[in-house]
Structure 1
Amino acid sequence: MSSFVAIPEGSDFPIENLPYGVFSTVQNPQKRIAVAIGDSVLDLHAVSGLYPPGVQAALKSDSLNLLMSLGHEAWTLVRYTTRELLLKNSRLHENPDLQAVALIPQSEIELHLPAQIGDYTDFYSSIHHATNVGIMFRGKDNALMPNWKYLPVGYHGRASSIVVSGTPIRRPLGQTVPVDGQPPVFGPCRTLDFELEMAFFIGGPENKLGERIAIEDAWKHVFGFTLMNDWSARDIQKWEYIPLGPFTSKNLGTTISPWIVPVAALEPFLVDNFPQDVDVFPYLRQLQKFNFDINLEVAIKPENEPETTICRSNYKNLYWTPLQQITHHTVTGCNIRPGDLMASGTISGETEDSYGSMLELSWKGTKTVNLNGGSTRKFIQDGDEVVIRGFCQKNGVRIGFGECKGKVLPAIPL
């Protein structure tokens, strides 16, 4: 396929990708849906009249929720039509006036959260990450909890504090116990961390309360994937997480990349599901391949210092798949809705340079991570910008997710 829109070499956004986002411009502050193509975006509101009537209203919306709700057939139709419009000698190619309105340089746009996120669930699906954390706090003989290989462990997060890439994150205040066995103190978090994650948006018709989504139907509810940084206040988390799990240590902010890459763009990069060595219950047994070779990396850029890549991992390291996550999430009859966000949990590999958090990279603060500017880190400091990137690459085609970044600002005194 060849687009009439110029695609720079190494771009995250060739015509094979076409990720969805929501944007505005200074000239037109109305939020609109777009797809990324090269260094530009195609405003789908501006070209909605070139699409079949059944999807036009969704393309004129100010969020992706309506399109998400239409289901797999509509997503395929929109993707096919968009691709056809961007090919050489298409209706759009032959209409310079419409191009002038609909094709906008990415340098001129502001990106927003792509959907209205009603609910957010964060899983704990990387066996390497879970094992590392278990070893740190419980020892090798008791690294994984007894339930971990029987079900996708997760918790319900805070949707209101999910922000789009580029939004600053404020260091939180909270209760911590600097010295084990002593009473807690109150003050700024001392061990602020990132978590390298990916997430997917729920789509398709909402299942009613009391209805389950079977494992063979779960794929119909995966609209697309995005990058995520689940910021974590480790010292606050250590004090509060027993007995009910993460709370204020996780609600300070969760950053996602602005682009949602559809499953269709990732299908050429399918790989075998991670081998599971416990015979799970029948409702979780998955025959369909639904794992992807997505390269992931994390960089830290302190103020007035160069950027340093500190971690390289891969999505295929996840033990539990999105289809198992959806099925387990709804096995109780829990209803999920278009625009809900479900995250992977920290994606760590087997080697030390693939650990997806500072907790692991510094091994609970006992090691230092060297940066290119000469400084070192055990956890994230004020002024640091954390940047997560992800891409698939094969046969000369690169499918990227853009950037997921956020800069840490100092705590506000109480």
Structure 2
Amino acid sequence: MKIVAYLYSDPLLESPADPMVWGFEVDRVYQDLGGRQQLQQLLRDCQVEPTDYLLIQRLDTLGDSVEEVSDRLTQLESLGIEVIATEQPYNSSQLASTNLPNIRANLFKLIDEIQNYQRSRRIRQGHARNRLKVLPPPGKAPYGYRRGKDRYILDRSTAPVVKDFFEQFLLYGSLRGAVRYLEKKYSKKISVSTGWRWLTNPIYRGDLGYQNGEVVSDTHSPILNREEAAQIDRLLRRNRRLPPRTASAPRSLAGLVICGECHSHMTVTSVTRPRSHKEYLYLRPINCPKRPKCRAIAYENILHSTIQSICQELPRAVAGMNAPSLDGVKQAINSQITQKQEILTQLPSLTATGVLDSETAELRAYKLRTEISQLRSRLAALPPVNLQAIAQAVSIPQFWNDLSESERRFYFREFIQQIEITRQDKEWQLKLLFIF
């Protein structure tokens, strides 16, 4: 008994299938990528040497239309080969042994399924060809852009609004604050979720993002440069570590302080005296299980001690980092990016000399661009190289005293992951946990 198998993959849509998916019982596996040359070879081999079974995943792997599938099934079954589709209810010997109404019902269902699948495949192939040509995906252009002939182009009336939104977020690190700023200054109402999508959308960085999750770099004019985009990513990662709604809180310590006794996050509360406009700020635990509850502590005392601790501990913490290896990682990633960009520049000459055909060159160029985008994402996720210089600058107490509360909030969250208050009778101590 001889068993063969056939695999088909479209390189535009999927990775090549693993031939070992059939196991070791199969005598030979025929596999095609894009064309169907191996399918023709299979038919020729079966005419020379009898074959008992042909395993396929789906009937539509045999052709690009119902007519092609039907013709090849007829050829195979005329050679006495039993065709079995593992992902569809098709087995030629079982169909032949059932009664006529069931045969018709099964065949009509399979034909309809094949037609729908091939229609979907043709649509996806069209989108894939557009990706290879680095064309924008279908649909309306994002706010701030409009569609050009083959790329997005900046909309001069709306791009400044988006740019101002990004600058506001970069300045204060608050998404809700940037959304409110947009409504107040430009009467442009957007939801917080829309603002988050703006901050993470690769299109505003000059890249194209597709539905399959792949990103192609440098396809049109950006609103955000690479440094600003990397800073936004760091701010978003930082804000995810904070309790809800504290990213836009007006006080710099909001969301950072926890009580070492009850391990509850502490919130900033204000107290005023009757007939007095003076405001007193305190930090108190939100969900303290202890009885009596842990006492509140004056906000200004914690703020002053935090600044003192940063000035003393931050330079030591940064000096303890393995900064040379960080530079080495960045250099290695930049070297890989440069290498792939050099390969990109060689593709036109390889196509002109006939080493590569145009379709293979387009597919290779697309993969190189997506790999470059992935490397840039890894690069952007790393801390800035000049972290030691920044640490030296912010270790001066006067630096913090000259900042507003919102500016302090920005810098605190750039370095601090958590501030823990340890109580000892009526005294307390601070413990800073840095992000790095």
TM-score interval for Structure 1 and Structure 2 normalised by the shorter chain: under 0.3
Q: Which structure's residues are more often helix, by fraction?
A: 2
- Which has more radius of gyration? 2
Compare relative contact order (CA 8 Å, sep 6+) and give the higher one, 1 or 2. 1
Q: TM-score, normalised by structure 1?
A: 0.19
